[in-house]
Amino acid sequence: MYRTPSAAVVFDDVAFLWYMRQGDQPLVSRQGHVYDHIALSVTDLDAWVAKLRGEGVTFLAEPYQLGATRAVMIEGPSREAIELVEVEDLDGPQHPAV
């Protein structure tokens, strides 16, 4: 079976690919595979954690130290793992949690 239709978003030399679901079987977790999560940076991790908890998002790990910063792992809508990494300052437009 061919995986069509498909789509991709390209940021410089990074591409995120996705395909339409091919059946009615439940999706399985990607954790433990070679490519098991993506990470996004946020400026206020506590605000994002509060917002996502309020929206019923599943947390795969509570906030934890990641070197000199903090991070948290959540489950996305297709059971993919998404890591939110706190950074002090982001270049470009800011997207507040609230």
Give the whole-angstrom CA distance, residue 22 versus residue 3.
7
pLDDT at 10: 78
- Tell me: the pLDDT tens digits for 7-58? 777 777 666 666 666 667 666 666 666 566 788 888 899 999 999 999 999 9
User: Higher-confidence residue: 87 or 32?
Assistant: 87
Which helix (H) or strand (E) element contains residue 50?
helix 45-54
Identity of the amino acid at 94: Q
Q: How many CA atoms lie less than 13 Å away from 91 in the CB half-sphere?
A: 0
Q: 61-70: string of b/e by CB count within 10 Å (b at 16+)?
A: eebeeeeeeb
pLDDT of 96 > 70? The answer is: no
